[in-house]
Amino acid sequence: MKGVFEAENLAINSASPEPDPQKRPASILVHACCGPCSIIPLKTLLKGEAQVSGFFYNPNIHPYSEFKKRLEAVKTLAGYLSVDVICNDDYRPSGFINGMKASVSPGLRYPQKGERCSYCYLVRLEETAKAAKANGFDAFSSSLLYSKYQDHEEVKRLGVDLGEKYGIIFYYEDFRAFWQEGVEESRNMGLYRQKYCGCIYSRLERHSEKNKARKAVAG
């Protein structure tokens, strides 16, 4: 079984060609990293014939207050779009951090972007693939394919590998072209929009960038 499906003709607005129903999976579980990034993937897939559900599994998010905000945003979006969403709201960040540290190069005090992100994508996509298989979906995908801040090719590579490993289709589509549309829709919906990627390291990096910018302005 080929573990990836690529859509070339995507109907996201009336000017685009209609999707070919023969080329779409009948049911799909879409990993939702947050509310704003899930809008375009979910709305796009809902335009086809597929039964679409969301899946919230993001043990990377730090701290708990942020985790709750993103979880609520995904639930709010699911309400707007009338889609079911399976939520794993069991917050266990230590398992994620320990797993990440074990997966990156030894001897580093601070896991670097790239290496740490590969692990982060892997655990979230793998849980989605397993949940899709266990719940009888034909395919799985991820809102990570929408974000222009993620390593798109790495997400795709991992999705394909996991599709082959678990015997389920990885639905691939490059949703990044609709970045601005997703941003505007999230604002119109009043969804919570986060200021950093998610993990404690990305939060620290964000603070450090802000401090540098402040010092530069202060001269």
Using CB under 6 A, list all residues that contact ligand SF4: 60, 113, 116-117, 120, 197-199, 201-202
Residue 214 contacts by C-beta under 8 Å, 6 or more apart in sequence? Answer: none
Whichever of 132 and 144 has its CB closer to ligand SF4, that residue is: 144
Nearest approach, Cβ of residue 119 and ligand SF4 (Å): 7
Instruction: Name the CA dihedral angle for 144, 149, 198, 213, rounded to a multiple of 10 degrees.
Output: -170
Whichever of 149 and 187 has its CB closer to ligand SF4, that residue is: 149
Nearest approach, Cβ of residue 79 and ligand SF4 (Å): 25
For 2, 92, 109, 185, 217, the CA distances from 205, given in Å and listed in that order, are: 39, 22, 14, 27, 18
Which two structure tokens, joined as six digits, stand for 129? 């693939």
In contact, 139 and 31? CB cutoff 8 Å: no
Burial of 52 (0-12, 13-18, 19+ CB in 10 A): buried
Q: Which helix (H) or strand (E) covers residue 29, if one does? A: strand 27-31
Whichever of 38 and 202 has its CB closer to ligand SF4, that residue is: 202
Whichever of 133 and 206 has its CB closer to ligand SF4, that residue is: 206
Whichever of 120 and 162 has its CB closer to ligand SF4, that residue is: 120
Nearest approach, Cβ of residue 200 and ligand SF4 (Å): 8
In contact, 123 and 14? CB cutoff 8 Å: no
Nearest approach, Cβ of residue 104 and ligand SF4 (Å): 10
Nearest approach, Cβ of residue 197 and ligand SF4 (Å): 3
